[in-house]
Amino acid sequence: MVSRTCIFSLSYRKSATPIYESSPDKNRAINEIIEIYKRTFQQESVLRATSEVKVSF
C-alpha cells in the first residue's frame, strides 16, 4: 500500500492526486491502486498523468 509519505487530494469528480517522492516501491503501490480501482468499478482503463513538481508546506 501507499506509505504515509504520500499525500492524496480527492475531488468531487472522483479523481485522486497523489503527491509522493518517486521510487519503484511507490510506483508499484500506485499501479496496485489503479488495478484495484479498475476491478472494483469494472473499468477498462484509468488515466494516470505523472509529472515532477516542487512543493513546500
> What gap in Å lies between CA 3 and CA 48, rounded to an integer?
19
- Residue the block writes with cell 479498475: 38
pTM of the complete model:
0.67
Compute the distance between CA of residue 12 and CA of residue 15 in angstroms, rounded to an integer: 7
Summary mean pLDDT of the chain:
80
- List the grid coordinates of 7: 499525500
Quick check: 6 pLDDT over 60? no
> What distance in Å separates the CA atoms of residue 57 and residue 38, rounded to the nearest whole number?
33
| Average pLDDT estimate for 27-54 | 90
Q: Residue 4: what residue type?
A: R
